Amino acid sequence: MDFFAHQDKARRNTLWLVLLFVLAVFCLIMITNIALVVVWWMFSQQQTLQAASERGLMELFSLKGFLLISLLVCGAVGLAILYKWFQLSSGGRAVAESLGGRQILPDTADPNERQALNVVEEMAIASGMPVPPVYLLEHELGINAFAAGNRPEDAVVGLTRGCVETFKRNELQGVVAHEFSHILNGDMGLNLRLIALLHGIVFIGKVGEMLLRGSRSRHRRKSNGQVAVVGLLLMVIGWLGTLFGQLIKAAVSRQREYLADASAVQFTRDPKGISDALKLIGGSQYGAELQSDQRSEVSHLFFGQVIRKMAAPFATHPPLMERIIRVQPDWDGNYIYRSEPSRLQKKRAEIEQLKQARERQARGTAVLGGVLLGTLSDADAPLDQVRIQLDALPDVLVEQAHDSLGAVALCFALLLDDKEDTRMRQLAWVQQTGFAGVQALTEKLYAQSSRLDPALRLPLIELLLPALKTLSAEQYQAFKRALMTLIRADQKTDLFEWCLYQLVYQYLAPTYEQQEAPLAPHLKLQAVADALQLVLSVLARYGHTDTADADKAFYRGVNAAGLYTLTPLDDDAADIQQLTAAVRRLGRVLPKEKARVFSAIRSCIQQDGQITVAEREMLGAIAAIMGSPLPLFIDLAELA
């Protein structure tokens, strides 16, 4: 799937969404003006019906009154949107918690939750994005899932209780892959904007409901009837706003579900996984239904239709049968009815099999070399490659990566210097971080991490990131200071240290630090050509030992981007310290221009037909800074 093209389409869809929203608000303004004038005309007459008729209805219409009512409606809608947007500013976590979700902790012992975390970890690493927190909607028995967030860095994946208890591993992979495609297609941010905009439209109805309740609670007087009528009128207008909102939401949402289903098949290379998941929803007594009071507001976020009986024009998802047939054209029309009692035992057996797979180190190490050197066949899905990498990690490191203190200690251990005197100074600084027991744990983990195959460092870092998000704000600041101190211990920053810091910072900063408003994107890559020149120069230099090969790689990259006049920078100009700013500037180009950036990167690293460890780590950091997927355009199998 061309995710950059779909991100660009999502950006254009945002413009259509705004136009539809403006049209809906305009209609509401007109209806509100007409309705309030009619009510005012009726109650402003104190005489008989005959006397009332002497004052024409049209006399009450005036430009001043129209503008005043329009201003009040727009102000109310605007304030409601700002309020909802502020609520959602923290990203997907706000959505998950509003639905009653609880975060599944990385060290959970529950086999269902453990499997869910494993699948999300694999999917995140395979798609080149940070591993998102996973939330469980434990009171929802319907089979459903969602992804929510403003950016990949603050995204979360939510799963219902019915989802984690019903699905086998391959079915859960299909559903999670579907949700990840929404993240990578740019749908996720659009979905949150849709929630905020539609909240503004339906807010008028909520005002009417408050007025109606208020009129009943007051002592009986003449104005009560007027307030009740106005409240009822606003409720009707709010109902019309809800109607407009449902139509907008359905129009924006339905076609994207087909795309996400197709993307999930490409992720997993297993059409059966997602098709069986859809069949299980059709065969379940609960279906994909939610019980939450907010289900209507967030219905477009979910994998399946959260309200069962929904008229076709207002449905946010295509019919189950159509989705299944698109994925599995030869479907026999039968849903899957799965009995529940044996599911827990089956999941435990599957987890035990995964544990045994990790112990097969000889096979894991051999196949890992094939992954990194590009000698695997096209039949190997990205998830298979990621699973091989994770299976090759020592169990003790995997266990510590799922614990907050262990994740902190692992980051520290990976930064410890080979020289003993420098390492001793670093450990002394670690002791001063305020994390109880972290020095001893860091020293213990250094013995393991120092022997780790360099090719496994990046999967390990990506694996430990969710545990770091459980730190408190004070712990985060202490952790960040310690990282910078350890990196500067030898008075220089090497490539791996830069990569580790960027991966950690880009993932954690949106949660713990105030983010600057994004700058307006550049329309053309030419505007940031100097930034691409620096990035390709550094990438070519670190990926090739021979200067001639490095120059060839650079020119192949810039030619792929269509910037034929650029020349490689010398070693002094291509400084790792300047790389962060250059990558951030590249991240400001439009999605269709990002495709050119990564085409250049791909061509650069393909010069020698393999991806080195240094190149792979740099690619991970670059993708994190730019907020873009990675292996979907750098397919390791294609480098064979």
User: Each residue of 536-566: pLDDT tens digit?
Assistant: 999 898 888 888 999 999 999 999 999 989 9
Residue of higher predicted confidence among 233 and 52:
233
- pLDDT digits 0-9 by tens, 160-171: 999 999 999 999
Evaluate whether 281 touches 20 at the Cβ level (below 8 Å): no
**3-state DSSP: the chain helix, strand, coil percent, rounded to 5?**
70, 5, 25
Q: Does 220 have pLDDT greater than 60?
A: no
Sheet holding 102-103, edge to edge: 102-103, 134-137, 156-160, 145-148
Per-residue confidence (pLDDT) for residue 163, from 0 to 100: 94
Report the mean per-residue pLDDT for the chain. Answer: 79
* Of the listed ranges 235-244, 460-469, 601-610, the one predicted with least confidence: 235-244
Q: Does 238 have pLDDT greater than 50?
A: yes
* Of the listed ranges 219-233, 244-258, 507-521, the one predicted with least confidence: 219-233
- pLDDT digits 0-9 by tens, 193-207: 778 877 877 777 677
Query: With 0-12 CB in 10 A as exposed, 13-18 as middle and 19+ as buried, what is 92?
Result: buried
What's the whole-model pTM score? Answer: 0.75
**CA distances for 81 relative to 11, 149, 154, 293, 358, angstroms:** 19, 17, 20, 19, 49
Paired sense of beta strands 156-160 and 145-148, if any: antiparallel
Amino acid identity at 147: A
pLDDT band (50, 70, 90) for residue 409: very high
CA distance 175 to 270: 11
CA distance 619 to 146: 28
Amino acid identity at 288: A
Q: Which helix (H) or strand (E) holds 145?
A: strand 145-148
CA distance 315 to 168: 28
Per-residue confidence (pLDDT) for residue 633, from 0 to 100: 41
Q: Where are the alpha helices (DSSP H) in 488-578?
A: 495-512, 529-543, 547-561
* Of the listed ranges 314-328, 416-430, 511-525, the one predicted with least confidence: 511-525
Average confidence (pLDDT) over 83-95: 84
Average confidence (pLDDT) over 437-444: 93
457-468 helix and 382-391 helix, angle to the nearest 10 degrees: 90
CA distance 75 to 358: 59
Phi/psi zone of residue 128: left (φ > 0), alpha (ψ -120 to 50 degrees), beta? left
Of the residues 179, 497, 593, 617, only one is catalytic, namely 179
**Domain 94-191+257-327 is in which class?**
alpha beta
Q: Does 489 have pLDDT greater than 70?
A: yes
Report the length, in residues, of the chain: 640
CA distance 86 to 78: 12
Q: Does 377 have pLDDT greater than 50?
A: no
- pLDDT digits 0-9 by tens, 474-483: 999 999 999 9
Per-residue confidence (pLDDT) for residue 198, from 0 to 100: 76
Quick one: tokens of 397?
């490191």
pLDDT band (50, 70, 90) for residue 494: confident
Per-residue confidence (pLDDT) for residue 371, from 0 to 100: 39
Q: Does 429 have pLDDT greater than 80?
A: yes
Q: What is the 3-state secondary structure (H, E, C) of 53-109?
A: HHCCHHHHCCHHHHHHHHHHHHHHHHHHHHHHHHHHCCCHHHHHHHCCCEECCCCCC
- pLDDT digits 0-9 by tens, 51-72: 444 555 555 556 676 777 778 7
Per-residue confidence (pLDDT) for residue 350, from 0 to 100: 57
Per-residue confidence (pLDDT) for residue 19, from 0 to 100: 72
Which residues does residue 156 pair with via DSSP β-bridges, in sequence order? 148
Q: Which residue carries 């299944």 as its tokens?
A: 324
DSSP state of 300: G
Residue of higher predicted confidence among 209 and 504:
504
Per-residue confidence (pLDDT) for residue 640, from 0 to 100: 31
Our answer to whether residue 179 is catalytic in this structure is: yes
DSSP state of 305: -
Q: Does 348 have pLDDT greater than 70?
A: no
- pLDDT digits 0-9 by tens, 184-195: 777 787 788 778
- Tell me the chain's radius of gyration from C-alpha atoms: 28
Paired sense of beta strands 156-160 and 134-137, if any: parallel
Q: Does 102 have pLDDT greater than 90?
A: yes
Give the alpha-carbon dihedral of 498, 503, 506, 508, to 10 degrees: -120
Average confidence (pLDDT) over 399-414: 93
